[in-house]
Amino acid sequence: MTLKKIVKGLFLIGMVLISAEISRAQDFNPPFPRIGQITFYPAGAGPTIWKNHNMVIIRHYYPDDAKRIKEKNPDVILLAANDALEGNIIKNITGKPLPDEWYIHYADGSKVPFWGGYMTNLSNECPVANYIYGPQRFNQFLAKFLIENTDWNYFDGSLFDTWFQRLKWFVKNLDNVDLDGDGKPDGASIAEERWEKGKKTLVENMRALSPKPILAFESGETYLNGNGFEFWTQETVASRAWNMQKALDLLKNAVSPQMNYANSEAKGYGAVFRADFTSAQIVGAFFGHDEGTYAHRWTFLHDEYEAKLGYPTDPPQTLEENLWIRYYDTGVIISNISGQTKTVSASQLHGGPYWRFQGQQDPVFNNGKKFDTVTLQPIDGIMLFKQPVTLITPIVIDNVPKNMTSLGQNPVDYQGTWTQQDRNNITTDNPAYALFYGWGDFASPYAFSSPGNGENIAHYNPVLSVSGYYEILEWHGWHGKYPNDYQEASNVPYRILINNAPVHSGTIDQTKNYGKWNSLGIYYISKGAKIDVSLTNKANGIVISDAIEFVYKGSKQNQDTTPPAAPRNVKINP
């Protein structure tokens, strides 16, 4: 083979690799709105709940959940969250405690506490210790440990849940910290400098083993691929403005592919949620909404998530200070984080006319009308479209108020004797409709009843703000820890009433079709109609009351407009 052919072959291989990398990078640039979610616990029904999300963040030590999420949503950006800077987490995986040398110490030899454990030492001055892979510093070990203990068949990148951007925010008496283990205090400024260099070395060590993107919560360093804004919801105008500017800076200066995640802990779906959502979209962040930083247990879903905006047509702009606007292929988003009431009129926008979308959750604000003017609250936002559109996220009535009853809806109304399942009596692979089977009032994944004569009734009563056709679907897992623990009923009676008139009834076989939506039919339901879908225990086994879903299908029934095929081999009698 000639040198020319060898060079040509290497060039072609290089072009293939570059093309593959470009193609892969395009996966990190989905259309808007960009929706994400983080959870730190077993996913449960998460793969179904997040099936249309653009980004999901789960713990790296849940590979089975990662597989299920990717199977349901192959295009999702799936990040592997780790809390490995808390040393006890690594011990739980390896079964061996970390060497004492790998923790941060004070000059007197005591370890620096954090969250019931101790802070690990990422600095390049950390003493060498022999652990798992041989003698090395902690930032050498951790890079290899995270890469080897993350299933890259499913995960697309890493996110550090704990990052410790500045030691002074977490370490008392920083002047007395001893990072190099010589028994002498480093001093606060030297400790901070060593800490920052050590974190950068950790990232370099990881990238030497894998090219996958790396993010961190509350970081901001441009040698990462982006930041997780765990506190996107802020009390002050200055903090909100800082978040937006930091997100824009990272999209420009961080390592490619750049991406940010913005987590909202707003209450409900009102003005604060709208401000969080719209500001995140304007700066290109993936947006998620849950109970907040305390646990990240539950997901809140919104009508806005059903939108299809396409891509931005220009950069973010301001109509005035802290009143942001950005245009997209099919609409425009305005976000007011000024702390003052602002009025925006159609004459201030270009590319119109625009319409508010017709929504279920806030039908007064999102009323479907042609846009003329809006008065935004001091912290608020609005999403407008070039064409009239109805956006209704599936409405779920579940057995408890959260996890996963929809915002603005009431949970199941139980009559008779029903038992809310204790999370300790099931396993996390029970396919009930819930996320983490955690603690507190909303931990029960489903309710159940013993068989009887119909005296126990579960009523599902959604409130619908938009008239149209809705598909009604039922979900159940199995009862107990394993599928064969108990005999579920094969003939659970259900009945559907609209304005007290029966429209359909039948039975559900709960011995099969676990962990999926089972259709009970499509029905026209008028705005404000009284709806009652009920289950009873007049059955031949345990009756499970889990979730019922109402999926908006449009204002008109789908009609088959495809003409029939031309007849063949037909003889026409004279």
Q: For 414-439, what is each residue's pLDDT tens digit?
A: 999 999 998 888 887 899 999 876 66
Distance CA 306, CA 35 (A): 10
User: Does residue 514 contact residue 431 with C-beta atoms inside 8 Å?
Assistant: yes
pLDDT at position 425, please? Answer: 84
Same domain, 332 and 444: no
Position 62 in a domain: no
To which H or E segment does residue 529 belong?
A: none
More confident residue, 258 or 482: 258
Q: What is the pLDDT of residues 64-90, one digit of tens each?
A: 999 999 999 999 999 999 998 887 889
Q: Please write the tens of the pLDDT for every residue from 199-227.
A: 999 999 999 999 999 999 999 999 999 99
Closest CA to 411 of 420, 419, 402: 402
Neighbour count for residue 58 (Cβ, 10 Å)? 27
What whole-number percentage of the chain has pLDDT above 90?
A: 82
pLDDT value of position 230: 94
Q: According to the model, what pLDDT value does residue 170 have? A: 92
Query: What confidence score (pLDDT) does residue 13 get?
Result: 40
Residue 12 pLDDT exceeds 90: no
E strand segments, 194-347: 214-217, 226-229, 261-264, 286-289, 317-320, 323-327, 331-336, 342-345
Under 8 Å between Cβ of 473 and 517: yes
Q: Residue 419 has which token pair?
A: 């038992």
Mean per-residue pLDDT over the chain, rounded: 91
Position 558 scores a pLDDT of 64
d(CA 177, CA 186): 6
Could you tell me which residues are beta bridge partners of residue 114? 117
Are 461 and 363 within one domain?
no
Write out the two tokens for 422: 């204790």
State both tokens at 105. Answer: 């110490």
Q: Are residues 465 and 413 part of one domain?
A: yes
378 and 406: one domain? no
- Is residue 537 included in any domain, yes or no? yes
Residue 130 lies in a domain: yes
Q: Could you tell me which of 219, 340, 327, 330 has the C-alpha nearest to residue 275? A: 340
Considering the domain architecture, whether residues 375 and 498 belong to the same structural domain is answered as: no
CA gap 273, 409 in Å, rounded: 17
Q: Are residues 499 and 453 in the same domain?
A: yes
Mention every residue, 6+ apart, whose C-beta is less than 8 A from residue 238. Answer: none
18 three-class SS: helix
DSSP 348: G
Round to whole Å and give the CA distance between 269 and 361.
Answer: 7
Stretch 112-132: mean pLDDT: 94
Task: Give the Cα separation of 150 and 144 in Å (integer).
Answer: 10
CATH of the domain at 462: 2.60.120.260
460-467 mean pLDDT: 98
Same domain, 385 and 399: no
Residues 459 and 542 in one domain: yes
- Residue 306 CB contacts under 8 Å (≥ 6 apart), including other chains: 391, 392, 393
Quick one: 453 and 475 in the same domain? yes
Tokens of 246: 């930091």
The verdict on 356 and 401 lying in the same domain is no
d(CA 240, CA 115): 27
Contacts of 455 (CB under 8 A, 6+ apart): 416, 536, 537
Q: Convert the pLDDT of each residue in 349-389 to its tens digit.
A: 999 999 999 999 999 999 999 999 999 999 999 999 999 99
Q: Is the model's pLDDT at 22 over the cut of 70?
A: no
Distance, in Å, from the CA atom of 202 to the CA atom of 146, rounded to the nearest integer, reads 11
Domain of residue 115: give its range: 85-143+167-211
pLDDT at 502 over 50: yes
442 has pLDDT over 60: yes
Tell me the Ramachandran region of residue 133: left when phi exceeds 0, alpha when psi lies from -120 to 50, beta otherwise: alpha
**What is the C-alpha separation between 367 and 360, in angstroms, rounded?**
9
Distance CA 331, CA 327 (A): 6
**Positive or negative CA dihedral for 203, 257, 208, 36?**
positive
Distance separating alpha carbons of residues 443 and 423, to the nearest angstrom: 7
The β-bridge relationship of strands 501-508 and 492-498 is: antiparallel
Q: Does 7 have pLDDT greater than 50?
A: no
- Phi, then psi, of 243 in degrees rounded to 5: -60, -45
Contact 480, 565 (CB under 8 A): no
Position 327 in a domain: yes
| pLDDT above 80 for 573 | no
Average pLDDT over residues 292-298: 78
In a domain, 536, yes or no: yes
CA 24 from chain center: how many Å? 21
Rounded Cα distance between 388 and 356, Å, is 7
Whether residue 207 lies inside any domain: the answer is yes
* pLDDT above 60 for 162: yes
According to DSSP, the β-strands at 226-229 and 214-217 are parallel
Q: Which residue, of 389, 406, 433, is where some domain finishes? A: 389
Number of domains composing the chain: 3
Residue 38 has pLDDT above 50, yes or no: yes
Domain-embedded: residue 20: no
pLDDT at 492 over 70: yes
425 and 326 fall within a common domain: no
Instruction: Give the CATH number of the domain where residue 351 resides.
Output: 2.60.40.1180
| Domain limit, last residue, from 327, 358, 389 | 389
pLDDT for 553 beyond 80: yes
User: Which structure tokens are listed for 313?
Assistant: 């047509």
Whether residue 259 is contained in a domain is answered as no
**Each residue of 299-309: pLDDT tens digit?**
999 999 999 99
Domain termination site, one of 337, 372, 389:
389
Res 568 pLDDT > 70:
no
Residues 120 and 175 in one domain: yes
Each residue of 397-415: pLDDT tens digit? 999 998 899 999 999 999 9
Residue-wise burial string across 211-241, b where 16 or more C-beta atoms lie within 10 A, e elsewhere: ebbbbbbbbbbeebbbbbbbbbbbeebeebb
What is the pLDDT, as a whole number, of residue 432? 94
> Does the pLDDT at position 23 exceed 70?
no
